[in-house]
A and B are shown apart, each in its own frame.
Chain A
Amino acid sequence: MIYPGEGTGYYEGSGRLNGMIILSLLAHILILFALIFSPSQSPPKWTFGPVYSVQLVSLPVSSPEKNDGAASLREITDSAPSGRYIMKKESIDTLPSAPIFSIEAKKKSVGGMEKALDAVRKNVQSAANQPVPGVALKGMEQITPPALGGALPSAKQSAEVNAQMRAYYALIWSRIRGLWTLPQGILPPESIEVVIHAQILKDGAVAGVDFEKRSGNRYFDASALRTVKKASPFPPLPEGFGDSYLEIGIRFHSSEFR
């Protein structure tokens, strides 16, 4: 038995099905397109400079190499009950002079082992200056450097330099992100942010690393600063980049940035 209502329903359902198929096809194409053109790493977020005032402050640190063995400062003297030994605690603000490492002296004592260690050090050093695999920086050699303060480059050159710089930013973003670690339990429950500025020289060396804005949590700030130092040196700047150095700011957020 055929009911008019059922027949109507069938045709209506068929039309809806076709619509869904087309919609699904479009969605798949869009996703495929997005997947092809999306990089494996999350992209850096480029924004304009912050609106807050900038104050450069250095951490009060002392380097062993800089100390000249001045007299130690006695900080605390703990006294024990009578009849017991006294245990004294002193703060050492200075160190015995730490001379520069002498390769000759080491070579005499350990010979082949030292050579092997030097090879390890060279490998590590060269690896640090290699571009991170997976991020393409091809075609840099063919680009004429567009000096930012000099003659204006052509639109094509400018576009290529922009592409190179995007790849470069993605690369250093990924490098810093991968090296930022902290023990669980140090971060405060509320979200905090520290901003560090740095200059990347042409060879990838990093200079002028300092705080642009502190978070108020010295342990969080120290971890961010150490991460930038750990990540450096970066790969050399793209040849298309005309200036002598690249100035960047790095904002570290304690929680997920939205």
Chain B
Amino acid sequence: MKNCHVRGTMRIFPRSVLFLLLFVFRCDYDAWGRVYLDIDSPTFKPFLIAVPDFQASSGNGEQKDNSPASMSSSLSDYLMMTGFFNVINRNAYLEDPKPQPEGANETIRFADWMVIGAEYLVKGNFQYRGKELTLECRLYDVIRSELVVGKKYAGNALEMKTMIRKFAGEVLFTLTGNGGIFTTRIAFVRKEGKTSDIFSIGFDGSGLLKEKEGKAILMSPRWSPDGRYLSYTSFEEGNPDFYVKDMGNSKVTKMASFQGINLSGGWSPKSDKVLLTLSKDGNEEIYVMDFANKLHQRLTNNFAIDVSPTWSPDGSKIAFVSNRSGSPQIYIMDADGNNVRRLTYDENYNTSPSWSPHGDRIVYESRTAGNFQIFTIGWDGSNLKQLTFEKGGSQSPSWSPDGRYIAFIKNNGIKNKIYVMNATGSNVRLLYEGSGDCSFTSWSPPIKLD
């Protein structure tokens, strides 16, 4: 936005001269045929959406907790947390909030919604039959006065939130092209005392699950891109060894237990190889391990420490951290270890790189003014952007699978909590604050819940 403003200011004089010339030369409009107007650079603003209370249809049972208002509020909350929607305050609605009489046809006066600025409208109605809930939701385009998408869900009344979440995903997908974010999970380490556990939590902050109970320190959880495996490093046998958990049957396999460090790195895009940091040959070097046969191959060969490898989404490159230039900096090499080049030059401590799913940017943490903050940079070193600025510092960034969000750890001066923000640094929201200190975020791909 700042850039736009600067450019706009610099263009005042040339625009004035251009307009002056137009007056002087007096072009005849009728000699031109069709006139074309050029509109550029849209204003960035979330979609304005109205979500009135859902309407109850007749039924012989009703859940006290699932009131019409709570359903629409849940949907509003889900839409708001995406950062793509701004839900209009229901006090502004012109529509009669009273339920429609039984048997009456649904009436939508789009002009009333347009007057209050709504671009989209969600209408819902539901019915209880014993413990079963049937929910119908429809998304309308107010400007074009038409139905965009409608879905009907039926199931246990206790699954009301799941139904609402699914429809929120439908709305997001319909209007932005990607709606799978509601079925993703964020893994992290929670340390209490001398031990730590690995947990995962949903994008909306619900469904906290303990993925691995640690009898010692656990580190660096990493999801495989197919969502089937979760790798991590554990000190439970005294040495930092590398393990993989099969999320389908919860079976844990020890993959590497060489002398020294066996630190978990990123997975290949096909989930068939995994990157590791091993110190078995003297100092920390990066290796690639074939997941099927555990054969590993050394990729870096340097006197310095090389750690935190992450694959590019096309599998052709690897970003990693090395102090070969004197301070920890981010480097990029080809997948076979050749063609190493330095990526970061700003600040003297840059680490924890994570390659965006679109392949164009790398997010990392950088120590600036005494605190770590989150930055993104183009993979070619261009367009460096600082995303976090708060005093306590922010660390351990991880991209969402759609590349629109970043999970990270923020310190409020007392302890580390998990936050999520849009990839632009906006819409920062607290995802989890439990007992203990959180660290090491890793975002899963969409996972089928049922």
A contact residues vs B (CB 8 Å cutoff)? 31, 33-35, 37-39, 42-50, 61-65, 67, 72, 75, 78-81, 84-93, 95-99, 101-102, 106, 109-110, 117, 120-121, 124, 148, 158-159, 161-162, 165-166, 169, 172-173, 176-177, 180-187, 189, 195, 197, 218-219, 223-224, 226-227, 229-230, 247-257
Which of A35, A38, A50 is packed against the most chain B CB atoms within 10 Å?
A38
B38 in contact with A257 (CB, 8 Å): yes
Is the pair B96, A48 in contact by a Cβ cutoff of 8 Å?
no
As a 0/1 sequence over residues 437 to 450 of chain B, the CB contacts with chain A under 8 angstroms (1 = contact) are 00000000000001
A19 to B85, CA, bound (A): 59
- Mask, B8-33, CB within 8 Å of A = 1, is 00001101111110110011111011
| Given known contacts A43-B19, A101-B109, A92 and B45 CB-to-CB distance under 8 angstroms | no
Alpha-carbon gap, A52 to B159, bound state (A): 53
Complex interface: chain A residues within 8 A of B111 (CB): 121
Nearest-Cβ distance from residue B178 to partner chain A, whole angstroms = 10
Do residues A176 and B144 form an inter-chain contact, with CB atoms below 8 A? no
Which one, A39, A97, A169, A187, contacts B19 given CB within 8 A? Answer: A39
Q: How far is the CA of A80 from the CA of B20 in the complex (A)?
A: 70
Contact flag A62-B146 (CB < 8 Å), given A89-B153, A159-B26, A185-B84: yes
Whether A35 pairs with B153 at a CB distance below 8 angstroms is no
Known A-B contacts A37-B19, A159-B26, A219-B177; the reply to A46 vs B39 at CB < 8 A is no
Interface check B176, CB cutoff 8 A: yes
Interface of B is mostly: mixed
Q: Decide yes or no: A95 and B138 within 8 Å by CB, A63-B147, A251-B37 being known contacts.
A: yes
> Which residues of chain A are near B436, meaning CB under 8 Å?
none
CB atoms of B150 and A93 under 8 A apart: yes
Of the four ranges (under 10, 10 to 19, 20 to 34, 35 or more), the interface on chain B belongs to 35 or more
Mind listing 14 A-B residue pairs with CB under 8 Å? A34-B17, A38-B12, A46-B29, A64-B147, A85-B132, A85-B155, A87-B156, A89-B152, A93-B150, A124-B115, A172-B37, A182-B43, A195-B36, A256-B40
> Is B94 positioned at the interface, with any CB of A under 8 Å from its CB?
yes
Report whether A256 and B404 are in contact in the complex, using a CB–CB cutoff of 8 Å: no
Chain B residues near A63: list those with CB within 8 A: 145-147
A250 touching B37, Cβ below 8 Å: yes
Q: Known interface pairs A39-B19, A63-B147, A96-B106. Does A117 touch B112 (Cβ–Cβ under 8 Å)?
A: yes
Contact call A226/B112, Cβ cutoff below 8 A: no
Contact of B39 among A80, A84, A251 (CB under 8 A): A251
A230 to B158 CA separation, bound complex (whole angstroms) = 40
Q: A169–B144 Cα gap in the complex (Å)? A: 24
Known: A49-B33, A183-B46. A78 touches B450 (CB 8 A): yes
Known: A48-B33, A180-B43. A256 touches B7 (CB 8 A): yes
Q: Which residues of B line the A interface, CB within 8 A?
A: 4, 7, 12-13, 15-20, 22-23, 26-30, 32-47, 83-85, 94, 96, 105-109, 111-112, 115, 119, 131-132, 136, 138, 140-141, 143-147, 149-156, 158-159, 162-163, 166, 175-177, 358, 360, 404, 422-424, 426, 450
In contact, B96 and A92 (Cβ under 8 angstroms): no
Q: Is the CB of A257 within 8 A of B40?
A: yes
Closest 9 CB pairs of A and B: A87-B155, A92-B150, A85-B156, A38-B16, A257-B40, A90-B152, A34-B16, A181-B45, A184-B44
With A87-B162, A229-B144, A249-B37 as contacts: A184 and B360 at CB distance below 8 Å: no
| Contact in complex: A87, B426 (CB < 8 Å) | no
In the complex formed, the residue of A with least CB distance to B29 is A165
CB of B34 within 8 A of CB of A181, answer no
Q: Are A99's CB and B32's CB within 8 A?
A: no
Known contacts A85-B158, A96-B106, A224-B39; can you find 7 more A-B pairs with CB under 8 A? A39-B19, A45-B38, A61-B146, A98-B108, A176-B39, A197-B34, A227-B39
CB nearest to A218 among chain B residues: B177
